[in-house]
Amino acid sequence: MTVQPLTSEELLLLAAAGGAAPSLHNSQPWRFRPTPDALGIRVYVDPERAVPLTDPDGRALHISVGAALFNLRVAAVHLGREPAVHLLPAPADPQQVALLDLSQPAATELPYGRDLYPAIGQRHSSRQPYTNRDVPETVIGELIAAAREEGAALSLLEEDGVRRVLGLTAEAERRTDSDLARMAETRSWLRLEEPATDGIPAAALGPQDHEARVPMRSFTGRPSADTTASQRFEALPQLATLTTHTDLPADWLRTGQALERVWLLATVHGLRASVLHQAVEWPDTRWGLRDPAEGPGHVQLVLRLGYGPPGSATPRRPVTEILDLTASQKTTD
């Protein structure tokens, strides 16, 4: 059975799904372009939407675009197509980070074990306190397997690991907070009053931890005048790290796909999540995040999981800004 070229409606649905992914400071650093035969999509990083002081190597940029790529794959299955991914298909063009071949019908209905498509619109960062309820072992097992299938290791931390990671995150948060240039960069992504299509609105910010145990990122700088009053967070947050063997753009793209697969699956299970990325942003605190017992590896991201309020939606750029339809009509391969 052959599949038809993607219609405009299908392309719009795919791009909307990709664009709903999480990204550093909601920078949405991606662009999508159908192949000239409209049987696939090329995925690009958008360097104009980089966050250079916080993310000088473009690691978080690639993780964000990797997350968008996973959403595209989920949406492709929803449309009955088999998503075949080629990472970094054109070495001469490093901005083109993936080619998604959608020329075959979907091989299985539920390639990710569950229908993850509805979760794309339901997933939000929840920066609120969570309850003390443990994530069941069976769910943890599913999340670990999901990350592994994407080429990343998800490790749920034991109590001593949680304390180590919280300490490093607090240290990194203090440093970032006293770095005027970085704080100005972070604040430039805040959208506290004006309606916007990117960045972080006031409603998506959370409180600081009253006990100063969970070092949530202060987007506004301290004292955090624009956020709500501090609140008591969970006594021992449930933290997980995503780790890869090497630390190259392909690893960052795999981490992004793993992050989004884990986050969508967590959403299906009624779990909330937020990212604690501060310690990954300084080389020495990032080094300290490694669990010596796990062997060599590069920690790419820290995820906080639990049960609590869902978190608010953040804005997205219009699909017409991220989907380049005109270029494909002009281009020939």
Point out which residues bind ligand FMN (CB under 6 A): 22-26, 60, 63-64, 67, 124-125, 127, 200, 217, 274-278, 311, 314
Q: Which are the contacts of 158, defined by CB distance < 8 A and separation ≥ 6?
A: none
Name the minimum Å distance from CB 41 to ligand FMN.
20
Name the minimum Å distance from CB 137 to ligand FMN.
26
- Six token digits for residue 305: 């999981």
Contact 93, 99 (CB under 8 A): no
Closest CB to ligand FMN: residue number: 22
Name the minimum Å distance from CB 286 to ligand FMN.
13
Nearer to ligand FMN, 24 or 147 (CB): 24
Nearer to ligand FMN, 78 or 272 (CB): 272
Name the minimum Å distance from CB 331 to ligand FMN.
29
Name the minimum Å distance from CB 278 to ligand FMN.
5
Name the minimum Å distance from CB 109 to ligand FMN.
27
Nearer to ligand FMN, 34 or 311 (CB): 311
Nearer to ligand FMN, 36 or 315 (CB): 315
Name the minimum Å distance from CB 79 to ligand FMN.
22
Nearer to ligand FMN, 36 or 308 (CB): 308
Beta-sheet strand order (sheet of 272-275): 153-156, 238-244, 298-306, 272-275
Nearer to ligand FMN, 277 or 298 (CB): 277
Nearer to ligand FMN, 40 or 117 (CB): 117
Residue 159, classified by CB atoms within 10 Å of its CB into exposed (0-12), middle (13-18) or buried (19+), is exposed
Nearer to ligand FMN, 206 or 297 (CB): 206
Name the minimum Å distance from CB 173 to ligand FMN.
9
